[in-house]
Structure 1
Amino acid sequence: MKKQKSYKKTAGKLYLVPTPIGNLDDMSVRGVNTLKSTDLIASEDTRNTQKLLNHFEISVSQKSLHEHNYKQRIPEFLALLKQGQTIAQVSDAGMPSVSDPGQELVASCIQEEIPVISLPGPTAGLTALIASGLTVQPHYFYGFLPRKKKDQQEVLQNLAANKATLIFYESPYRLKNTVSNMNEVFNPQRKAVICRELTKIHEEYLRGTLAELKEYLTENTLKGECCLLVEGQSEQEVDISLPQAPLKEQVKQFIATGLRPNDAIKEVAKQNKLKKQKVYNAYHELNK
């Protein structure tokens, strides 16, 4: 085990500096001072970061560091750090490495015994969580789901029994399909919250069940960056999902939670890995 104090005294330092997720007033004094005093800023997008630097009158030069060039950039940054220079790493918004580039440089610095110093600051997931109204502890941060439906549903199936509040990031262009997939995999009556444009002028929270959010998104198009939070599996949901009861009784249990009969039939079919028609027949007592 290595302690941070064992790092080489002659090496520079890597600072991880969070940037505002929308409102520039959320930039900390320490963050501004760190950016002003560092030798170089490693930015996800230099054009985007330049707007921040201009706002706070910071004249330090930048070099890009993103998913397409990190293999080339990391050796360059390590060489500068070993010469005693300091580098501040930033992403376009929020904390570096959280659904953004950064972790590869951090891992490389640790391997080379170069100090890594993380500054606290804005992060969209926790900002959304504490105002969502859902259970704060425990929570599970996933970030961006896979884009393809099959891959996304596979991930959601693995998360279905998680009792923690689930935190996702999603593009407004994919949000409708993602919520639709969640309605197929999770109980549609789970509480969920869409948090849009956090810290900005048009900040908005849409609260309801997954079924209600799906219906809303069929009629409304959202813009801006979004967080999607979904409550974890409840004890009631666990009890309902137990397969010991006859299929008809299972359907009735889901209907009692507020689901429409067709949705309840679909949910029971999913829980028991049966065709929907088989459950439909059992509920309506057909083919006897």
Structure 2
Amino acid sequence: MSQAAALYIVPTPIGNLNDISQRALETLQQVDLIACEDTRHTAKLLSHYQISTPTWALHDHNEQYKAEQLVTRLLAGHRIALVSDAGTPLISDPGYHLVNRCRNAGVRVFALPGPCAAVTALSAAGLATDRFAFEGFLPAKDKARHDKLELLKEEPRTLVFYESPRRLLDTVAELVSVMGPERQLVVARELTKTFESIHSLPAAEMLAWLKEDDNRHRGEIVLMVAGHQPDGESLPAAALRTLALLRAELPLKKAAALTAEIHGVKKNALYKYGLEQMAPLE
């Protein structure tokens, strides 16, 4: 680690303490101060690795005020590490105001790679990962949550949310209402911990599954939602070719019904696709 003054963004384990990197441990040992979301929580990690660096609380309620004090220390030559309770700082955690002010003040900022619950969950979810949108926590109030999901219901990218155990059922119920009972959901719970689980189901089935056992919505939760696919994109190419051939000789409703029977896909989706994408018979 450089001896010059700088702010170091240090990811910490999301559950399994062995997931911390050697570079992160060396940084926490060598800095002058560790700014952390909860000093009591971070103390457990530091004690486990016998690190005695002083800590300083920096959380949502005091960040804007304390960021100025930390920047003053940095400009005076101190080296400071920023950690959150778990995972990568600033990802649905405090730190934005501090990093922003460091940049504006010309203080160097180094980000260490490391654990992040959103990326860990997404990599094992079985949903599309070439493009995704991290949305953090949804609003707690019903109307605000509903309005947010309405804005996102046609988002084609995989959606990634953090959710609390007490709100998960309400959120999944809202997803059923807004995005439909068949939208694929994945609930990843207690990642890297003893009772880790990753479960994938259509939205309506997921809601029923969660209601069967309270243990299924306890702990730290990442909720992922498959991206919206227009009907034509979600239908197999072979089915669309069959529909086009039959449509040349039959009414659309009959062509859709036969195609659905041949390929095992939904008649209504084929019919809707035909109405939107195919020219009427002359």
> Structure 1 length normalisation: TM-score?
0.79
Aligned length: 242
Contact 1:190 1:231 in 2 (8 A): yes
Equivalent of 1:206 in 199, 202, 214: 199
Aligned pair in 2 of structure 1 residues 257, 125: CA closer, same or farther (>3 Å)? farther
Contact 1:15 1:88 in 2 (8 A): yes
CA displacement at 1:194 relative to structure 2:
0.3
Contact 2:64 2:98 in 1 (8 A): no
2:35 corresponds in structure 1 to 42
2:122 corresponds in structure 1 to 129
Mapped partners of 1:220, 1:180: distance in 2: 16
Contact 1:43 1:49 in 2 (8 A): yes
1:227 corresponds in structure 2 to 222
Equivalent of 2:48 in 48, 52, 55: 55
Unpaired segments ≥5 residues, structure 2: 236-251, 270-282
Report the AA paired with residue 94 of structure 2: P
Report the AA paired with residue 211 of structure 2: T
Confirm whether residue 181 of structure 1 aligns to residue 178 of structure 2: no
Mapped partners of 2:131, 2:71: distance in 1: 37
Unpaired segments ≥5 residues, structure 1: 1-8, 265-288
Contact 1:192 1:229 in 2 (8 A): yes
Contact 1:11 1:82 in 2 (8 A): no
The superposition leaves residues 183-237 of structure 1 with CA deviations (integer Å, 9 ceiling, x where unpaired) of 1110220111100000011100111101111111222212110000010001327
Q: Percent identity?
A: 43
Contact 1:10 1:83 in 2 (8 A): no
Measured on the aligned residues, the alpha-carbon RMSD in Å equals 2.5
2:151 corresponds in structure 1 to 158
CA displacement at 1:11 relative to structure 2:
6.7
Aligned pair in 2 of structure 1 residues 82, 205: CA closer, same or farther (>3 Å)? same
Contact 2:83 2:89 in 1 (8 A): yes
1:64 corresponds in structure 2 to 57
Report the AA paired with residue 204 of structure 2: A
Mapped partners of 2:173, 2:160: distance in 1: 16
Aligned pair in 2 of structure 1 residues 258, 135: CA closer, same or farther (>3 Å)? farther
1:112 corresponds in structure 2 to 105
Mapped partners of 2:77, 2:64: distance in 1: 21
Within 5 Å, which residues of 2 pair with 1:231-246? 231-236=226-231
1:283 corresponds in structure 2 to none
Confirm whether residue 78 of structure 1 aligns to residue 71 of structure 2: yes
Contact 1:160 1:233 in 2 (8 A): yes
CA displacement at 1:238 relative to structure 2:
7.6
Mapped partners of 2:3, 2:116: distance in 1: 32
Mapped partners of 1:141, 1:151: distance in 2: 18
Aligned pair in 2 of structure 1 residues 14, 40: CA closer, same or farther (>3 Å)? same
Name segments (4+ residues, structure 1) moved above 3 Å: 237-240, 256-259
SS of corresponding position for 1:59: coil
Equivalent of 1:26 in 12, 16, 19: 19
CA displacement at 1:71 relative to structure 2:
2.3
